[in-house]
């Protein structure tokens, strides 16, 4: 399973599939249905629908439509063990 920021998840009407805005290597966006697992206030587990390493939009989700071209600003977080 993959973990994405909760703000990356688009939810519609009750009964509709949750979506993420996936960004391909050329910067083109597409709405991608996902299957969610566990969720917290800040993160959501994605069981199916995107691949490991897939970049997803976390802001301006409602302003993006399939085929738009964006320049992702990637934030990298590293887990540290004590």
Residue-wise pLDDT for 8-37, tens only, equals 999 877 888 999 999 999 999 999 999 999
Nearest 10 degrees: Cα torsion 14, 60, 65, 46: -50
b/e string for 20-35 if b means 16 or more Cβ within 10 A?
Answer: bbbbeeeeebeebebe
What secondary structure letter does DSSP report for 10? B
Nearest 10 degrees: Cα torsion 12, 14, 17, 20: 30
Query: Which is more confidently placed, 62 or 80?
Result: 62
Sign of CA dihedral 2, 57, 30, 70: negative
pTM of the complete model: 0.82
């Amino acid at each position: 399973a993959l973990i994405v920021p909760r703000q990356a998840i688009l939810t519609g009407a009750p009964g509709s599939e949750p979506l993420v805005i996936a960004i391909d290597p050329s910067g083109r966006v597409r709405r991608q249905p996902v299957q969610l697992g566990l969720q917290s206030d800040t993160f959501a587990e994605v069981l199916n629908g995107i691949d490991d390493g897939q970049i997803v939009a976390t802001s301006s989700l409602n302003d993006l439509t399939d085929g738009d071209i964006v320049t992702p600003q990637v934030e990298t977080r590293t887990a540290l063990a004590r």
